[in-house]
C-alpha cells in the first residue's frame, strides 16, 4: 500500500521505553475483536496495531438486555466487558496474533487492584510488548471507573501495574471527570509510558413510542461514542498535553481525515478509531491512505515531521 512514511515511534523519554507503529492508526478496543475479525474488509498492514477487546482474569458474559442504542452522531453501548478471559486469550487468540504477525495492545480491565496486578504479571510473563489499562469503562458495576476518577487511587494502581510489567504501559483515561489533568499527571508520575484518551462518555438513550393510547418507553444507559463526542475529546487531549510529556494516543469521534489533523493540532501522537468502524469497516485503510497521500503531496518526509509542523505552527 506504500505507507512507509507513516511509521512512527511512541517514546517515553524518561525511561526510553518505546512502541514502534507501522502507522499511527490503531483499531480501538471493543471495535476490532481479538485478532483478525476485520481481515476480510481491510489490509491489516494499514494499522499500527489493534487494541484487543478488553480482557479480564475470568470469562465475562457481559450485561443482559439491550447492549447497543443508536443516537444522533453516535451510539451508546453497555456491553459490560464481555470477553473470553485471559487464559482463553492466551491459548486461542495470542497464537493467531503471532502467526499473522499482527501488532496489538492487550487491553485489560479488572474489578480489584489484585486483578490488574495479576493481569500485568501474566502479560509480562508472556512478553506482551504493549499493555493498555482500561480504568475508564462506564458500563460495568465495579472496577474501572472506581480507580479511574480518583487521582490517588489511579496513581497507586498504575504504580502496582508498573511493578509487575516491564513492557510499554498505556493507561486509558476517562472523560467522565471535571478535570482530567490530575488523572494524567498521576499516571505519568506512577510510571506509565503513554496515555490513551478518551474512553466513552456517560450517556442515556431514550426511546418513546405512543401505541394503543399508551406510552411505551425504553432507556439504555452506558458509554456514548461516535462523532458527537469529538469536541469533548479534542478538549481533553489538549488538557492532557498541558501537563504530561509522555505520548498520547487520541480517540473520540474520528470519522474522516480532517479529524486526524485536528487531533494532531492539540497534541496527539497517534490515533485510535472506534465507533466509525461499525459504519465503514474500511475506514482505517482509507484514513491511512489519505494521511500518506497528504504527506507525500505536501513534502512531509515522515509522520514526525508532519506532527512537528502542525503542533509548532
The catalytic residue positions are 137
Q: Measure the CA–CA gap between 241 and 249, rounded to whole angstroms.
A: 11
Please provide the DSSP assignment of 174-217 as one string. Answer: PS-SS-SHHHHHHHHHTT-SEEEE--PEEEEEEEEEEETTEEEE
- Neighbour count for residue 20 (Cβ, 10 Å): 14
Handedness of CA 144, 150, 151, 155 (dihedral sign): negative
- For 226: left if phi > 0, alpha if psi spans -120 to 50, otherwise beta; the answer is left
Are the C-beta atoms of residues 158 and 190 closer than 8 Å to each other? yes
Q: Measure the CA–CA gap between 205 and 221, rounded to whole angstroms.
A: 6
Q: Measure the CA–CA gap between 175 and 9, rounded to whole angstroms.
A: 25
Q: Measure the CA–CA gap between 252 and 272, rounded to whole angstroms.
A: 8
* Residue recorded with cell 505507507: 3
Q: Measure the CA–CA gap between 57 and 46, rounded to whole angstroms.
A: 31
Bridge partner list, 266: none
Amino acid at each position: 500500500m506504500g505507507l512507509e512514511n507513516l511509521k512512527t515511534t511512541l517514546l517515553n523519554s524518561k525511561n526510553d521505553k518505546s512502541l514502534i507503529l507501522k502507522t499511527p492508526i490503531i483499531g480501538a478496543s471493543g471495535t476490532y475483536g481479538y485478532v483478525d475479525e476485520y481481515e476480510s474488509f481491510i489490509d491489516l498492514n494499514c494499522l499500527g496495531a489493534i487494541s484487543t477487546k478488553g480482557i479480564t482474569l475470568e470469562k465475562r458474559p457481559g450485561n443482559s438486555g439491550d447492549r447497543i442504542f443508536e443516537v444522533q452522531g453516535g451510539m451508546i453501548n453497555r456491553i459490560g466487558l464481555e470477553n473470553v478471559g485471559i487464559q482463553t486469550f492466551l491459548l486461542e487468540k495470542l497464537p493467531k496474533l503471532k502467526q499473522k504477525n499482527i501488532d496489538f495492545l492487550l487491553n485489560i480491565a479488572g474489578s480489584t487492584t489484585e486483578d490488574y496486578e495479576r493481569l500485568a504479571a501474566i502479560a509480562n510473563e508472556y512478553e506482551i510488548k504493549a499493555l493498555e489499562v482500561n480504568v475508564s469503562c462506564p458500563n460495568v458495576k465495579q472496577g474501572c471507573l472506581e480507580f479511574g476518577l480518583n487521582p490517588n487511587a489511579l496513581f497507586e494502581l498504575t504504580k502496582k501495574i508498573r511493578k509487575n510489567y516491564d513492557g510499554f504501559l498505556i493507561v486509558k483515561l476517562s472523560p467522565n471527570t471535571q478535570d482530567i489533568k490530575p488523572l494524567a499527571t498521576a499516571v505519568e508520575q506512577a510510571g506509565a509510558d503513554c496515555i490513551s484518551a478518551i474512553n466513552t462518555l456517560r450517556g442515556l438513550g431514550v426511546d418513546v413510542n405512543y401505541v394503543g393510547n399508551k406510552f411505551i418507553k425504553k432507556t439504555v444507559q452506558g458509554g456514548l461514542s461516535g462523532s458527537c463526542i469529538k469536541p469533548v475529546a479534542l478538549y481533553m487531549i489538549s488538557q492532557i498535553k498541558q501537563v504530561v510529556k509522555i505520548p498520547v494516543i487520541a480517540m473520540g469521534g474520528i470519522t474522516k481525515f480532517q479529524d486526524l489533523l485536528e487531533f494532531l493540532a492539540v497534541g496527539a501522537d497517534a490515533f485510535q478509531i472506534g465507533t466509525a468502524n461499525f459504519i465503514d469497516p474500511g475506514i482505517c485503510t482509507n484514513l491511512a491512505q489519505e494521511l500518506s497521500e497528504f504527506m507525500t503531496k505536501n513534502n512531509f518526509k515522515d509522520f514526525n515531521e508532519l506532527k512537528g509542523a502542525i503542533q509548532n505552527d
